[in-house]
Amino acid sequence: MKINNLDKKIFDALYDGVLIADHTGVVRYINPSYTRITKVEKEAIVGRSLYEVRPGAQLPSVITSGKKLLRIQRKVGNVEYIVNMAPIIEGNEIIGGISILNEINDIYKLTEELNQSNLMIKRLEKAMKSMGKAKYTFEDIISNDLNSLETKNLAKRIARKDSNVLITGESGTGKELYANAIHNASDRQNNPFIPVNCATFDNNLLESELFGYEEGAFTGAKKGGKIGLFEVANGGTLFLDEVSELNYGLQAKLLRTLQEGTIRRIGGVKEIPVDVRVIAATNKSLEKMIEVNSFRIDLYYRIAVFPINIYPLRERREDIRALVEIFLDQMNKKMNRDLKIQGDLINLLCNYNWPGNIRELKNTIEFAINMTDDDLIKLEHLPKIIQSEGIRTNLLKLKLLEEIIRETEMVEIKKAIDIFGDTVEGKKRAAEALGISLATLYNKLK
């Protein structure tokens, strides 16, 4: 049995230990790693029979039987290792056998490294999931008003479908809240929810954010390219807030993605399949934008398969009281306080028109809490614009000075009559005590 130079070079380079014996059990070769693992020098074993130098060796039985032996655990001194043995067959004849040794310490180390790698991968996966997690559910949406209940029930129905959704409504009405809730009530709830505010990006930058780019696609492109948000959201939901801000060219690219279910990175030629549900939102009239050719009608029908309009706060006033209580409770916990709102202010807040909707209401409560030093929010703690509006529309029901004077006089006259009596003499004394004439007293009593 001969081992050529090439075989020798290959075996010598291996990290695992190698021993080769001929059909008689005589050792013909060991590599340096075998010496390292077993501490047996080449001169002490090569050319000698395994029966002689390794009485317990099982390789001779492998050579005789022609059957492999795998994962045999051995120990020499303090060194433990695993041996895999196999016969060497040429034609139909067994001409020898080979043993491959793996030091157990190396296996333990490799296993530990693999476990650490798997742990890191799990942490990264968890981090990615938390980054793309929708925060709100339908339980977080206040809906005491009939208009709110109607909107919420429609959104719940839509959530169970898998079509694209267009949410419309004034700024601050809670469009993103609804987008979160729809995702969390859908079959995609365990997959990413990726929100993108189209108004915060330059359109060229937005294109690269949505679709990604290949290396060298443009000056400043990252080495290796960049994955786009459509790919990040694969299997989940992409929320395009302020979709009306997309320019006409980017609208065409978005349309193609929605039609074909694929994206092409900037500078790339490969079509990458994506499975993404799009929820779009806007506070503008896309219909009017279509009329002036600033929004594509074909894209509109792609994103508005299920349209939802969220009523402004002034058209769902029954929600205001509950929202005030929630925001007040949240701010109290945040600031470690226990504030309450003066009773008559609730009517003012419920009847104010809230042009900034829920966002304005929340900011108002936070403003008022910061303006008061005691435990009661009063009129003077509210923003000036709300105070002025309340007075202008008589929401505070201010009394005229004449009415206040008349009520005060009635109280004092009744008190004097109770003291001096309801007789003529008593009324005379009462008039004297009040500093008025008897005739004036009689007129006021009338």
Superfamily designation of domain 5-106? PAS domain (3.30.450.20)
Per-residue pLDDT, 79: 75
Per-residue pLDDT, 433: 86
Residue 127 has pLDDT above 50, yes or no: no
287 vs 66: CA distance, rounded Å? 81
* Average pLDDT over the chain, rounded to an integer: 87
pLDDT tens string 18-77: 999 998 889 989 999 888 888 888 888 899 998 888 887 889 999 988 899 988 888 777
pLDDT tens string 292-316: 999 999 999 999 999 999 999 999 9
The whole-number average pLDDT for the span 225-241 is 93
Percentage of the chain modeled with pLDDT above 90: 49
- Find the largest Cα–Cα distance for the chain: 147
Domain boundaries, the chain: 5-106, 138-311, 314-392, 402-445
C-alpha pair distances (Å), 198 with each of 60, 78, 206, 214: 74, 66, 7, 22
CB atoms within 10 A of CB 242: 19
Per-residue pLDDT, 171: 94
Q: May I ask the CATH class of domain 314-392?
A: mainly alpha
Nearest to 46, CA basis, from 69, 25, 28, 65 = 28
C-alpha pair distances (Å), 261 with each of 190, 254, 255, 258, 265: 20, 10, 10, 6, 14
The whole-number average pLDDT for the span 385-409 is 68
pLDDT tens string 160-195: 999 999 999 999 999 999 999 999 999 999 999 999
> β-strand 376-377 against 340-341: which pairing, if any?
parallel
SS3 111: helix
HEC readout, 268-288:
CCCCEECCCEEEEEECCCHHH
pLDDT tens string 352-391: 999 999 999 999 999 999 999 888 998 889 998 888 876 6
SS3 266: strand
pLDDT tens string 234-250: 999 999 999 999 999 99
The whole-number average pLDDT for the span 220-227 is 79
The answer to whether 267 touches 217, Cβ cutoff 8 Å, is yes
Q: Which fold has domain 138-311?
A: Rossmann fold (3.40.50)
Tokens describing residue 433: 């005590």
SS3 267: coil
